[in-house]
Structure formats: structure tokens, C-alpha cells
Structure 1
Amino acid sequence: MNAETIREWLNRRPFEPFEMRLSNGEVYQVRHPEVLAVGKNRMAIVDPATDRFVHVALVHVNSIEVLQTA
């Protein structure tokens, strides 16, 4: 996936939480736009609960979907 597509999801107003599915099967939830920083070829995702972050190459993002809330 390209950076522009991910930025479009981040910049939606009103913001809608979403999840990203990666090529290795991992799923990351983005509940607030502040937890994701998108670069040219990769991004950093922060887990506010644990204060940990992970770097992901954009090429590994297979899909983005609106996060279904219960």
C-alpha cells in the first residue's frame, strides 16, 4: 500500500478508527490518528496502552478497513 492512501485514512474528518492487515497476518488497530506516523516507505504504530511501537514497511500493508465497534 502507498503512503498517500494511508494518509487519506488518517486525515478523514470525522476520523474513523480503522485496522490494517499485514502480509504476515498481523492486524493493527488505529483508534486515534496520533498513534500512526507515516513516512515515505514505512510507518510507526504506537500502542498507547503499553507505550511500545512497531515499524512496518508500507509494502506489507494488504488492506485497511473501518474498525467495527461493539
Structure 2
Amino acid sequence: MAFTTQSHAGISFAERWAAFRSDMAEAHVRRKTYRITRNELSNLSDRELNDLGISRAMIKRIAMEAAGYV
């Protein structure tokens, strides 16, 4: 029975851990940006949204763009 080890091309555990934490922090910021944008736009009246040229159907897409998902 043969065992193989997975190589990470010389990347240390500390570097991988730091990259993981950085990715998680970035994901947190994106989620927060999405949530805040969506909530702020959802709280506007239809008239205020119309003044901005936004329909209620566009709120999710605009929030996703603001968070960098699109």
C-alpha cells in the first residue's frame, strides 16, 4: 500500500493559515457590504427609488455589484 503526500509548493502552514484568514475577512466584508446596501435601498420609498432610477426588482443586483459579487 502506497501513501502519497500532498505538496503545497513550499508554502508553509503559517502562510496558508494567513491566506485563509484573509479570505474569510474579505468574505465577511463582502457579506456586510451586501447586507447594508440591500437594507438601505429596501428602506427607501418607491418614490425615492424612482428618483434614483432604481426599481425594487434591481435592489438585489445592485447590492451584489456593490459587494463585488458580480
Q: TM-score, normalised by structure 1?
A: 0.30
Higher fraction of helix: 2
Higher fraction of strand: 1
Q: TM-score, normalised by structure 2?
A: 0.30
